[in-house]
Amino acid sequence: MSKVSEDERLSAAAAATLGQLEGLDERFGAMTSAADAIEALLDAGSVPAARLVEAKHELAQLNGDLEKFQFTQLDALEVADLSSGKADARARRKGLHAEVERLHERALALH
């Protein structure tokens, strides 16, 4: 059995973290698409009252999903222990945090 060097292990850890970030980015993209669909519906003009109520519920759910996503998944992603890929992972996580905040504000404004 060969012993993996620390650099190889950290590189694997960095790759795993960056992969997790990619998955989080995809999930965030789905939430953005949901917000876009709701916004398009509301911008369309005359929306039946029942559909408007449903859209408001969807926005409330989206707000909750965004908070859960940010605080239980994005914040849980460890980058401090990385040596290789650390700067990239931090920058991507920070950028995703900013995007989540913007979408959260947008969803609140629509609600």
State the Rg of the chain over Cα.
Answer: 19
- In whole angstroms, what is the distance from residue 79 CA to residue 21 CA? 11
First to last CA, the chain: 58
Query: Which of 71, 64, 74 is CA-nearest to residue 94?
Result: 74
Q: What is the structure's pLDDT at 29?
A: 97
- In whole angstroms, what is the distance from residue 55 CA to residue 5 CA? 53
pLDDT, one tens digit for every residue, the chain (111 residues): 444 444 455 578 888 899 999 999 999 999 999 999 999 998 888 889 999 999 999 999 999 999 999 999 999 998 888 888 888 899 999 999 999 999 999 999 988
**Global pTM value:** 0.82
Q: Side chain identity at 71, as an amino acid letter?
A: F
